[in-house]
Amino acid sequence: MSKLTVRDIPVEGKRVFVRVDFNVPLSPEGEVLDDTKIRVTIPTIRYLLEKGSKIILASHLGRPKGRVVKELCMAPVAERLSQLLEREVLRSEQVIGAEVERAVQALKPGDILMLENLRFEAGEEKNDPGLAAALARLADVYVNDAFATAHRAHASTFGIAEYLPAVAGLLMEKEIAYLSKSRDNSPSPLVVILGGKKVADKIGVIRHFLNKADSLLIGGAMANTFLKAQGYNMGGSFYEDDKLDVASAIIEEAKKSKAGFYLPLDVVITEELRANSPSKTVKVGNIPEGWSAVDIGPETVKVFQKMLLGAKMILWNGPLGAYEFPPFHEGTEQIARTIAATEAESIVGGGDIAAALETLSLADGITYISSGGGAALEFWGGKELPGLIALKDRSSVGNMVR
């Protein structure tokens, strides 16, 4: 997949609408707790600053569902970006309207204006054509640098591209490059690790890689559904009753596929999911009633590690246990440390694993950490993402901006 990027079009002095993903966690006092999503977009912003563009930044924050929620205003985000850039970031208290239009008209080359939370507008998630057109009137060029929202056909990720020349930002360019290689041109041996809670979220990814990967390693609560489908007693463990038939079908498909399909051999169990609650390790199938599987066990870790040590590329999405409740983070941590120590090219599909790697100070040992968990899953599963469809292909010819 090859898309035109911000480097491929003239942006000097232009009004550039940049869709970013600044959906960051905030403290109760309104301070940014983790600025990773802001930092990864800075290369695009700096490029536009160097070109003397008039930059209009737009993002959603939280789930206000089309109404104004004071706690989800963009002010703290604008302040943090200003600190990182060491320059003023102007802010609008509206998304569209006369006030915003006046603020845009007043922009000088090198100015940055951040709009208010896009999801304060009910039309954003509905891809309302009126909202998309109003956003487009603010700019000459559209740049999407928010891969994490690329699987959503919203007004700011899809609709706006019907009105403006639409290209990828520098972060989006990296996402497309790494994820395309991992999905379509991955070296062998390829090992894919999938965890998290629900099989439903990963059916497409599993089926896509059954005949591409050498090994599929399944952990987390989603493994419980596969184990239950095989007839194991899972005690009080979470599993998806409505996905047992799908899990059974995937197990049968795996028997005929290229990939080795590995489920846990042992699990760590507890009666109550909380930090430091009493626990023990049992073989799969030996979970007592009232106890729940909350992490992969040491035997499973060893098997997974053996698969990883021979890999040339490793893909990973989803934790392998309830890592936010120590000590049930150990399976995830041991696998993370193994991956970071290998020479394999490793790509992590954002979300909870990205946060865990940062917490463990292992992010530097990973080749690439995607900014979008859900979007990465859909991309790996072979789906066409609306946010990418909207961007111009590199085969586009001619001067897009006049």
Stated length of the chain: 402
Query: Which tokens sit at 382?
Result: 């072979």
Instruction: Please give the residue range of the domain that contains residue 284.
Output: 186-366
User: Do 198 and 169 share a structural domain?
Assistant: no
Among 121-125, 131-135, 326-330, 352-356, whose mean pLDDT is lowest?
A: 352-356
Work out how many domains the chain is built from and give that number.
2
Question: What pLDDT digit, counting tens, does each position of 158-170 carry?
Answer: 999 999 999 999 9
Which value, in Å, is the radius of gyration of the alpha carbons in the chain? 23
Closest CA to 391 of 186, 149, 62: 149
Asked if residue 212 belongs to a domain, the reply is yes
Q: What are the C-alpha distances in Å from 190 to residues 1, 185, 314, 345, 361? A: 20, 10, 6, 10, 25
* Residues 169 and 190 placed together within one structural domain of the fold: no
pLDDT digits over 53-100, tens only? Answer: 999 999 999 999 999 999 999 999 999 999 999 999 999 999 999 999
> Is 371 a member of any domain?
no
- Are residues 193 and 164 part of one domain? no
Answering whether pTM is above 0.75, one says yes
Q: Are 269 and 236 in contact (CB under 8 A)?
A: no
Rama region for 231: left / alpha / beta (φ>0; ψ in -120 to 50; rest): left
- 160 with 284, same domain: the answer is no
**First-to-final CA distance of the chain:** 26
- The 3-state DSSP class for residue 314 equals strand
92/236 same-domain check: no
Alpha-carbon distance of 35 to 24, in angstroms, equals 7
> Looking at residue 324, which CATH number applies to its domain?
3.40.50.1260
270 and 349 share one domain: yes
- Residue 246 has what pLDDT? 96
In a domain? residue 399: no
In a domain, 312, yes or no: yes
213 in a domain, yes or no? yes
E-state strands within 102-175: 112-114, 141-144, 166-168
Task: Round to whole Å and give the CA distance between 337 and 329.
Answer: 12
CA distance 144 to 180: 17
Query: Is 361 domain-assigned?
Result: yes
The pLDDT value given to residue 361: 86
What pLDDT was estimated at residue 195? 94
Residue at 214 is within a domain:
yes
Residues 145 and 294 both lie in one domain: no
Asked whether residue 148 falls in the same domain as residue 242, the answer is no
- Average pLDDT rounded to a whole number, residues 279-285: 96
- Any domain includes 54: yes
Residue 53 sits in the same domain as residue 133: yes
Structure tokens at 161: 């591209």
Same domain, 120 and 218: no
CA distance 326 to 337: 16
Q: What pLDDT sits at residue 401?
A: 46
Binned at pLDDT 50, 70 and 90, residue 396 comes out as low
**263 & 342 share domain:** yes
Answer yes or no: do 192 and 151 share one domain.
no
